[in-house]
Amino acid sequence: MPLSGQSDFRSAIDFTALAVERTMDRLLPKGSDPEARLFEAMRYSVLGGGKRLRAFFVMASSTLFGVASQAALRVASAVEFVHAYSLIHDDLPAMDDDDFRRGQPSCHKRFDEATAILAGDALQALAFEVLAHEDTHGDPAVRTQLVAGLAQAVGPHGMVAGQMVDMDTEGKALSMGQITRLQRLKTGALISFACSAGAILAKASEPARHALIAYAHDVGLAFQIADDLLDVEGRREDTGKTPGKDAAAGKATFVSLLGRERARDQASLLADQAGRHLDMFGNKAELLRQAARYVVDRRA
């Protein structure tokens, strides 16, 4: 059953999570080689749940253009591999030093630091390997666009830069503009890639791509504000993370800058605005509009 058969957002995101989990399970290495510990650490960090929101963005944007779900699931897996790698490295003692992730011991606690570093490194390589493989798309021009798009999103002008700024600005006061830029890099760039993946796979028109990127822009920001709110208000049972972590680390967040109420209003505004960027797609974009609402209303 393809995603387009799902009209209700909750069942659509659950359906995606299940399908992408199966695809990732197939793409991840396994075996009894001497390096099996590496494979185990990769599987431990990738599999076993999560909202798979980034995967959902890939699948929902692909559904807009009627892209075959088999291709989209591979791209969704690559995005989740990169996301998982970034979480493994972020959790390391030298970085955010977090012992828990999704309510489970983080990778370096379950295994060890060296294994966690290597598992992250291997997941990044695997993501590009999956995108470059002919099963992802018959046209190599599309595959290189996917590779280039992901590399830009997560490289020195994307996700990694955001993480660097995040580390460097701990304990410093940041302006709204600075926090927004940080978020765009740290989480926004990968979300943008995920949302535009469907358009790349379908060789869609420039206006269609731009609409999705504009949507991603607002959704990404809304997502981060909601994340900051959850750090303050969320319960460990729901989020699986140590609450109050950002405040304890002296991190400037949207909430520390705006206060809870204005932050909540801002996130809600952005979610509505995100949906309106998709007017050109009419009803077909309903799942993406609901996703924008979900992003700000979620509890985990």
How far is Cα 1 from Cα 63, in angstroms, rounded to an integer? Answer: 12
Distance CA 4, CA 188 (A): 25
Size of the site for a copy of itself (CB under 8 A): 59
CA distance 256 to 229: 9
Q: Which stretch binds a copy of itself (CB under 8 A): 12-20, 58-66, 167-175, 281-289?
A: 167-175
Q: Does 1 bind a copy of itself (CB under 8 A)?
A: no
**Residue 180 CB, nearest distance to a copy of itself (Å)?**
12
- Judged by CB under 8 A, the residue of 58, 131, 212, 252 near a copy of itself is 131
Region binding a copy of itself by CB under 8 A among candidate stretches 31-39, 56-64, 203-211, 217-225: 31-39
Q: Which is nearer to a copy of itself, 55 or 78 (CB)?
A: 78
100-101 and 104-105 beta bridge pairing: antiparallel
Residue 89 interacts with a copy of itself (CB under 8 A)? yes
Neighbours of 133 (CB within 10 A): 13
- Residues between 53 and 72 that touch a copy of itself (CB under 8 A): none
Q: Does 177 bind a copy of itself (CB under 8 A)?
A: no
Pick the binder of a copy of itself from 161, 191, 204, 263 (CB under 8 A).
161
Task: Say whether residue 165 binds a copy of itself (CB under 8 A).
Answer: yes
Min CB(42)–a copy of itself separation in Å: 7
The separation between CA 265 and the C-alpha centre of its own chain, rounded to angstroms, equals 23
Question: Which is closer to a copy of itself, CB of 92 or CB of 214?
Answer: 92
- Per CB under 8 A, 194 contacts a copy of itself: no
Q: Give residue 148's identity as a one-letter amino acid code.
A: A
Distance of closest approach, residue 3 Cβ to a copy of itself, in angstroms:
26
| Contact with a copy of itself (CB under 8 A) among 168, 175, 207, 297 | 168
Which residue's CB is nearer to a copy of itself, number 150 or number 288? 150
CA atoms of 77 and 85, how far apart (whole Å):
12
105 binds a copy of itself (CB under 8 A): no
**Residues within the interface to a copy of itself (CB under 8 A):** 29, 33-35, 37-39, 42, 85, 89, 92, 94-95, 112-115, 117-118, 120-122, 124-126, 128-129, 131-133, 139-141, 143-145, 147-148, 150-152, 154-158, 160-165, 167-169, 178, 181-182, 185
